[in-house]
Structure 1
Amino acid sequence: MTPTPTGRLIAAATGTDLQMTREFKATIDEVWASLTEPERTARWFAHWRGEGRPGATVRLTLTAEEGQPESDMTIVSCEPPRRLEVETVDEHGRWHLEARLDEAHGVTTLTFVHHLDPGTDVASTGPGWEYYLDRLAAAVAGTPMPDFDDYYPSQRAHYESLAPEPERP
């Protein structure tokens, strides 16, 4: 399988956003549950424990990463079943993420946004989110999980082509 990269960079008031969309033949409530319920998020991304409410910090255990690393994640905003905004800081940097859901005619559309910090390596971050969002799609559909080797390094060139040229002194 060779998945096609879908991410694009969008200018935002606070900098640059990496944006991707996915469509699901599922209700908005089903997709929301896959984004917010610990047992369901564990199927594609991470199990979490703690109090899931705005302003709270929960503990993530990444289920698809070697060694199942842990980190804290703060819930910035939660507007069921339409919008979730979270932030985590780890050894790889700050990750400010947002998920927006809309449903029409039996199809739910997820707009995923990574609000990028300056210096974020989009060439490695983009393929990683493609992989995780396709894992989410597989979890919702009940289909086999994708293989990370199908995303990286093959999608690196796409994301390198999106990155703006560095400013010259």
Structure 2
Amino acid sequence: MPGATGHVVRRTSEVVELALTRTFDATAADVWASLTDPGRTAGWLGPWRGEPGVGRTVELRMSFEEGDAWSTVHIEACEPEKRLRVIVSDDPQEDDWVLEARLEEHAGQTELTFVHALADAAVAESSGPGWEYYLDMLVASRAGVPLPDWDDYYPAQVAHYAAEVARVSKG
């Protein structure tokens, strides 16, 4: 069973973030391509279509979820090989997802910090295991090894994220 690695961070009284990191023995350019090239995202997250660019909208289909729905992804910021910030709209009845990927390269390694801004810290209890799964899918797809099994993440990692939520909720 994979261990949970993410943390919930309270930035202000109203801003809470779920943050997870992964480190790759690769350049930032190579990791960036894994995050932005539709041929590569298809192997771990899902395909996307459209014309990318800051202020533009593309569509993403998360292949490893139930159903085949396409989500709207508004590109809010894009600094190649450094930072990508998007807003994902899936269901008008639910909050949008504000997601950011930050890359830092040092001595031939690149650290990816993935951040999900949360309107409600409690959302981390369900989304934390989900992002752990997807980031481990990214790791596996880059390494050419079998993809992880969702059942190893949920509900096994919920307790970790519940403790993270409780920690930030206290103060």
Match of 1:4 in 2: 3
How many angstroms apart in 1 are the aligned matches of 2:121 and 2:111? Answer: 29
Residue correspondence of structure 1 range 26-41 to structure 2 within 5 A = 26-41=26-41
Unaligned runs of 5+ in 2: none
Higher share in helix: 2
Instruction: Count how many residue pairs are aligned between Structure 1 and Structure 2.
Output: 166
Higher share in strand: 1
How many angstroms apart in 1 are the aligned matches of 2:55 and 2:49? Answer: 14
**Are the counterparts in 2 of residues 9 and 162 from structure 1 also a CA contact under 8 Å?**
yes
Match of 1:97 in 2: 99
Q: Which letter maps to 2:6? A: G
How many angstroms apart in 1 are the aligned matches of 2:145 and 2:27? Answer: 17
RMSD: 1.7
Match of 1:129 in 2: 131
Match of 1:111 in 2: 113
**Are the counterparts in 2 of residues 23 and 109 from structure 1 also a CA contact under 8 Å?**
yes
Q: Percent identity?
A: 49
Unaligned runs of 5+ in 1: none
Match of 2:156 in 1: 154
User: What's the CA shift for 1:69?
Assistant: 2.2
Q: Secondary structure of 2:166's match? A: coil
How many angstroms apart in 2 are the aligned matches of 1:80 and 1:44? Answer: 20
Could you list the per-position Cα deviations for residues 75-98 of structure 1 after superposition, in whole angstroms to 9, with x for gaps in the alignment?
000000110000012234210000
Q: Which letter maps to 1:63? A: S
- Cα 1:49–1:157, aligned 2, differ >3 Å: closer, same or farther? same
Could you list the per-position Cα deviations for residues 83-137 of structure 1 after superposition, in whole angstroms to 9, with x for gaps in the alignment?
0000012234210000000111221100110011126521111000000000011
- Cα 1:119–1:110, aligned 2, differ >3 Å: closer, same or farther? closer
Q: Which letter maps to 1:107? A: Q
Could you list the per-position Cα deviations for residues 48-95 of structure 1 after superposition, in whole angstroms to 9, with x for gaps in the alignment?
111110100101111112323211000000000110000012234210
